[in-house]
């Protein structure tokens, strides 16, 4: 039996907050529930401990219930160096990372509290000029800071130059992120069991600049070579950083993966068909 769980939620979504209240009413007397500060601040409830997401593992929490959409999941995973297993309740639109629909939430939590299995998803570790940035569960997008201004990037994989790319930007994705921004930019869908990373140019100038799939344990180095132009690094749509000429981004496989609680047996291919068809 699971003894302690954490709950995070969208704080600007009335239905998500109502779902949290329902979970508290149903399970508050049966399991120790810890609330994230932003979630607790949006609810009119008392008697629950409040712990930041990045400290929940230290408090003995065994899993996190995330009430919201994919953005809620990604935002909270990015706060954890060693992510706890996450069970996602879908209160958003697409919900590719959140398996449980609201009408099935209580039954799914009942099942999970008796014990659960989780799947591991590789993340990308990111550094800028040697400074560590949050790891990416989906993707790292490097895009022009000025619309309609093409940039030049020098990309290498394990010290071998891959391309001197002229484009609006480039997306570096995990297999999990291959169904997100990278797919919209023309990249392939990669089964999460494949240990790889994906490089997808955004609106490249040359027809020969195509997506690449490289080994996950590669070291990918990206240097902005456009003089007097700025670009922006966007990690999982949550964290933004400005870069200029000669700034260097280094991407490697993160030591600690993301973890998602398994609630169905339908698998990845069924999810692609149902969510993306």
Mean pLDDT of the chain: 93
- pLDDT tens digits along 136-176: 999 999 999 888 789 999 999 999 999 899 999 999 999 99
- pLDDT score at 266: 63
Three-state secondary structure string covering the chain: CCCEEEEEECCCCHHHHHHHHHHHHHHCCCCEEEECHHHHHHCCCCCCEECCHHHCHHHCCCEEEEEECHHHHHHHHCCCCCCCCEEEEECCCCCCCCCECHHHHHHHHHHHCCCCCEEEECCEEEEECCEEEEEECCEEEEEECCCCCCEEEEEEECCEEEEEEEECEEEEECCHHHHCHHHHCCCCCCCCCCCEEEEEEECCCCCCCCCEEEECCCCEEEEECCCCCCEEEEECCCEEEEECCCCEEEEEECCCCEEEECCCCCHHHHHHHHHHC
- pLDDT score at 262: 87
Would you tell me which CATH number, out of the four given (3.90.1310.10, 1.10.150.240, 3.40.50.10330, 3.40.50.300), belongs to the domain 4-121+257-276? 3.40.50.10330
Same fold flag, 4-121+257-276 and 124-253: no
Per-range mean pLDDT, top range of 41-45, 136-140, 207-211: 136-140
- pLDDT tens digits along 220-232: 999 999 888 899 9
Give the model's confidence band at 93: pLDDT under 50 very low, under 70 low, under 90 confident, else very high. confident
Q: Where are the domains of the chain?
A: 4-121+257-276, 124-253
Q: In the predicted model, is pLDDT for residue 208 greater than 90?
A: no
CATH annotation of 124-253: 2.60.200.30
Q: In the predicted model, is pLDDT for residue 21 greater than 80?
A: yes
Question: Which residues participate in catalysis according to the annotation?
Answer: 70
């Amino acid at each position: 039996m699971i003894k302690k769980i954490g709950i995070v939620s969208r704080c600007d979504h009335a239905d998500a907050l109502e779902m949290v209240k329902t979970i508290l009413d149903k399970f508050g007397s049966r399991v120790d529930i810890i609330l994230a500060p932003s979630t607790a601040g949006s609810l009119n409830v008392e008697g629950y401990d409040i712990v930041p997401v990045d400290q929940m593992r230290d408090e003995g929490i065994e899993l996190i219930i995330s009430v919201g959409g994919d953005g809620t999941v990604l935002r909270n995973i990015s706060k954890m160096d060693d992510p706890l297993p996450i069970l996602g309740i879908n209160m958003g639109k697409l919900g590719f990372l959140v398996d449980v629909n609201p009408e099935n939430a209580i039954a799914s939590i009942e099942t999970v509290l008796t014990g659960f299995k989780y799947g591991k998803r590789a993340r990308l570790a990111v550094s800028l000029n040697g400074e560590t940035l949050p790891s990416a569960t989906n993707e790292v997008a490097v895009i022009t800071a000025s619309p309609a201004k093409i940039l030049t990037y020098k990309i290498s994989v394990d010290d071998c130059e891959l391309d001197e790319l002229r484009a609006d930007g480039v997306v570096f994705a995990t297999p999990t992120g291959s169904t997100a921004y990278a797919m919209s930019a023309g990249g392939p869908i990669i089964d999460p069991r494949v240990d790889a990373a994906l490089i997808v140019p955004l609106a490249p100038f040359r027809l020969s600049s195509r997506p690449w799939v490289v080994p996950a344990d590669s070291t990918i180095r990206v240097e902005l070579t456009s003089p007097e132009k700025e670009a922006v690094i966007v990690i999982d749509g949550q964290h933004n950083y400005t870069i200029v000429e000669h700034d260097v981004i280094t991407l490697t496989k993160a030591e600690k993966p993301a973890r998602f609680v398994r609630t169905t047996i339908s698998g990845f291919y069924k999810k692609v068909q149902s969510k993306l068809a």
